Amino acid sequence: MPQYHKTTNQYEKLQFGKTYHILNKAIGSEKLFITNNDYFYFLRKMERFLLPWADFLSYCLIPNHFHLLVTVHEFDEIPDNLLLIKSNETEPEMLLLQAFSNFFNSYTKSYNKIHYRSGRLFLYPFKRILVNNDDYFIYLISYIHRNPIHHGITDNYISWKYSSYNTFLSDKPTNIDREYILSLFGSKEEFISFHEDNKTKQGLKEYIME
């Protein structure tokens, strides 16, 4: 049986060069996304604040939460202007957390202005689990894309517009690391069939976040 990462601290420290499953959700009965524009605006904010720090591997947005799979860049790959002074006294990993905080705060401010609300929107702190096993990694991509079915929002994950699934079937330019992910599955056809089969793996329950 495959061995999975056993440190399931959902608020563990972010590290450069590592891959993480990330989740954040709205507080209480609030929603993160009400209109189509909210979803697309969130993705633009995600690119602006997070893409300089990490490669995007897959994502799914549903009304009250989102899932994101990223690989954080190596420390030496981060532009100096983002790290301010690489030799300063601030732990570099804290700057990673600040990037996420800036992202959530920026989206909240814009969302509040558009929807005439005030106060917190996200449930803090965001959850993250280290991904360091290929079997878990591949399963997780399918799990993220099928999340709208899991929550009863749709019965067809392929038609859900707010996930990265169809990006992998397209040849259009994307910020998702499409070539790398498809190489893990072996081909586009195997990527599709894996999602259709909805395979489950023993020992993964403790790594799934909702």
Provide the residue-wise pLDDT of the chain in tens; the chain has 210 residues: 333 344 455 777 889 999 999 999 999 999 999 999 999 999 999 999 999 999 999 999 999 999 999 999 998 888 877 766 454 545 777 888 889 999 999 999 999 999 999 999 998 789 999 998 888 899 999 999 999 999 999 999 999 999 999 999 999 999 999 999 999 999 999 999 999 987 665 555 555 666
What is the Cα–Cα distance from 41 to 47, expressed in whole angstroms?
10
Task: Order across the sheet with 65-72: list the strands.
Answer: 54-62, 65-72, 19-25, 127-131
Could you tell me if 4 and 204 are in contact, meaning their C-beta atoms sit under 8 angstroms apart? yes
What is the Cα–Cα distance from 56 to 177, expressed in whole angstroms?
6
Q: Where are the beta strands (DSSP E) in the chain?
A: 19-25, 54-62, 65-72, 127-131
The pLDDT assigned to 90 comes to: 58
Q: Helix axis angle, 134-145 relative to 178-185, nearest 10°? A: 110
Q: What domains are defined for the chain? A: 19-207 (3.30.70.1290)
Amino acid letter, residue 154: T
The pLDDT assigned to 208 comes to: 61
The pLDDT assigned to 206 comes to: 55
The pLDDT assigned to 123 comes to: 87
What is the token pair recorded at 171?
A: 């040849």
The pLDDT assigned to 50 comes to: 96
